[in-house]
DNA sequence: TGAGAAACTGAGCAATTGCTTGAAAATTAG
DNA sequence: CTAATTTTCAAGCAATTGCTCAGTTTCTCA
């Protein structure tokens, strides 16, 4: 008697199943990149992943869960880099900017599509916690480099940086000189904010 | 003999029909605000507007057209303000920032939802032209206030401003002091950019 | 080897979607 | 008034959606 009915998601144990899970998530990523969000449906994901629709629902309770899984996969990559940078001390800010840019341009269309997805529905607590940690690390690095600043000023700087990197990822700004541009925007704002009351 | 079959949209001539059109667009806006984009479908729009689904399709060729119409309605309001400000000369930058903020906070959820919509599918040439004009006016005002600057620097400043206003509209930044914050971010960036090569 | 567990299949359902259509009601013109 | 035109109505279709389930295949391990 198997005990896994209440939550329709089953945890894969065999290697084959783990690969299937990854293939499903990656298929969703490719469809988002190539055809956009409106074209993303479970039937297409399964077909693209090379598995049947039934298999998909063995591991993901619903369509939403696939997207959450994909978002987590992407964020985990960036978060790992940021955690490593946190120890740098020296050129931590530049390293952080460089990592964000590298991550954004690794798969620009995917990054853009996922940002739209994230804003559409609030993600679960696990994924939200990762977003929170990214923001915390970012403003922590800024706080360490610039003097005592209001929390809102640090957040503003983070938003400026994120906004510019995203815009560049969508082709609105040239990648050439992007790191310097972002760095200039963040530093000039924080310096100015430090001078004001 | 009526000649209007090729394009399924009919131009309303009676006052009653014009009001119906407006009611449809406004219904779409309210659904976007209250239930989000995923809940937006033509049947619901018609119901909410108090008309039948057949009436809706007499004036809009498809669902997309309703959204384009709504986006245009919203942009037209902002664009009119910006055009008027263009003549100010004096405190044009501050006025522009104030207008953007006022527009964003008039119906914050609608503004946020429409921004997501705009990014999902590229809008028609008419609506794209309005976006272009808004950007042109904005960077024109900046260019006039700050010396000779690269086009990308002006665009960057516009993106910074827009990003912060949007973020505030979504509750990420306090509305209190927002105009000063945006102004500070734009000015400090442009001053710094003017000093660099 | 063989039995039980894990993984996979795909036909197909219930619900929803965007949209058509043929006729009724309201408005205007003569 | 009547007749032509404009506007409105709503049943319902064709397609798509997310998802279920009964059955088959593949793997694990004694």
Q: Is the pLDDT of residue A6 over 60?
A: no
Residue A137 has a pLDDT of: 95
Please identify, among A61, A88, A104, the residue that sits at the C-terminal boundary of a domain: A61
Residue pointed to by tokens 């360490």: A144
pLDDT of residue B141: 93
Residue B142 in any domain: the answer is yes
More confident residue, B122 or A85: A85
> Does residue A168 contact residue A161 with C-beta atoms inside 8 Å?
no
Tell me how crowded residue A190 is: count the other CB atoms within 10 A of its CB: 23
Other Cβ atoms closer than 10 A to B128: 12
pLDDT of residue B196: 84
Contact assessment for residue A118 and residue A71, using Cβ atoms and an 8 Å cutoff? yes
B35 and B122 share a domain? Answer: no
Contact A72, A127 (CB under 8 A): yes
Asked whether residue A41, judged by its CB, lies under 7 Å from any atom of the DNA or RNA strand C, the reply is no
Residues A184 and A142 in one domain: yes
Is B173 inside a domain boundary? yes
Q: What's this model's pTM, rounded to 2 decimal places?
A: 0.92
- Contact predicate B113/B33, CB 8 Å: yes
In a domain, A1, yes or no: no
Does A52 share its domain with A106?
Answer: no
Domain check: are B98 and B127 in the same one? yes
d(CA A134, CA A95): 14
Helix A15-35 to helix A42-49 angle (10° resolution) is: 120
Residues B86, B50 share a domain: no
Does a structural domain hold residue B135? yes
Lowest mean pLDDT among A14-18, A41-45, B85-89, B164-168: B85-89
Tell me which chain B residues have a C-beta less than 8 angstroms from the C-beta of A32: none
Residue A74 domain flag = yes
Q: Average pLDDT over chain A, rounded to whole?
A: 92
Q: Is residue B33 part of a domain?
A: yes
The structural domain count of chain B equals 2
CATH assignment of the domain containing A97? 1.10.357
Residue A193 touches partner B, C-beta closer than 8 Å? yes
In a domain, B102, yes or no: yes
- Straight-line distance from CA A122 to C1' D3, in Å? 58
Domain boundary among A15, A32, A61: A61
Whether chain A has a CB inside 8 Å of the CB on B79: the answer is: no
pLDDT tens, N- to C-terminus, chain B (197 residues): 333 344 556 787 788 899 999 999 999 999 999 999 999 999 999 999 999 999 999 999 999 999 999 999 999 999 999 999 988 777 899 999 999 999 999 999 999 999 999 999 878 888 899 999 999 999 999 998 887 899 999 999 999 999 999 999 999 999 999 999 999 999 999 999 999 86
pLDDT for residue A51 is more than 90: yes
Domain that holds residue B110: 72-195
pLDDT per residue as tens digits for the range A105-162? 999 999 999 999 999 887 888 889 999 999 999 999 999 888 789 999 999 999 999 9
What is the share, in percent, of chain A residues with pLDDT greater than 70? 95
Asked if the structure places residue B4 within a domain, the reply is: no
Query: Both B95 and B163 in a single domain?
Result: yes
Q: What is the pLDDT of residue A135?
A: 95
Is A81 in the same domain as A37?
no
User: Is residue B101 located within the same domain as residue B168?
Assistant: yes
User: Does residue A156 share a domain with residue A76?
Assistant: yes
What's the helix, strand, coil split of chain A in %, to 5?
75, 0, 25
pLDDT over threshold 50, residue A1: no
Question: Is there a single domain that holds both residue B120 and residue B169?
Answer: yes
A15 plus A98 within the same structural domain: no
Give the CATH number for residue B52.
Answer: 1.10.10.60
A85 and A146 co-located in one domain:
yes
Window B:81-140, CB contacts with A under 8 Å:
112, 116, 119-121
């Amino acid at each position: 008697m198997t005990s896994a009915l209440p939550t329709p998601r089953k945890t894969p144990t065999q290697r084959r199943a783990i690969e299937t899970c990854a293939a499903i998530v990656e298929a969703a990523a490719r469809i988002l990149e190539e055809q956009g969000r409106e074209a993303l449906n479970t039937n297409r994901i399964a077909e693209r992943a090379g598995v049947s629709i039934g298999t998909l629902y063995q591991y993901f309770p619903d369509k939403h869960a696939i997207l959450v899984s994909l978002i987590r996969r992407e964020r985990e990559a960036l978060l790992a880099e940021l955690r490593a940078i946190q120890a740098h001390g020296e050129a931590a800010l530049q390293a952080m900017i460089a990592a964000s840019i590298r991550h954004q341009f690794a798969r620009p269309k995917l990054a853009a599509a996922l940002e739209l997805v994230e804003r559409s529905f609030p993600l679960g607590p696990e994924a939200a916690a990762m977003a929170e940690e990214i923001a915390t690390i970012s403003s922590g690095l800024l706080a360490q480099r610039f003097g005592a600043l209001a929390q809102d000023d640090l957040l503003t700087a983070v938003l400026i940086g994120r906004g510019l990197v995203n815009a560049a990822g969508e082709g609105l700004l040239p990648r050439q000189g992007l790191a310097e541009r972002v760095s200039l925007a963040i530093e000039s704002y924080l310096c100015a904010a430090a001078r004001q009351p």
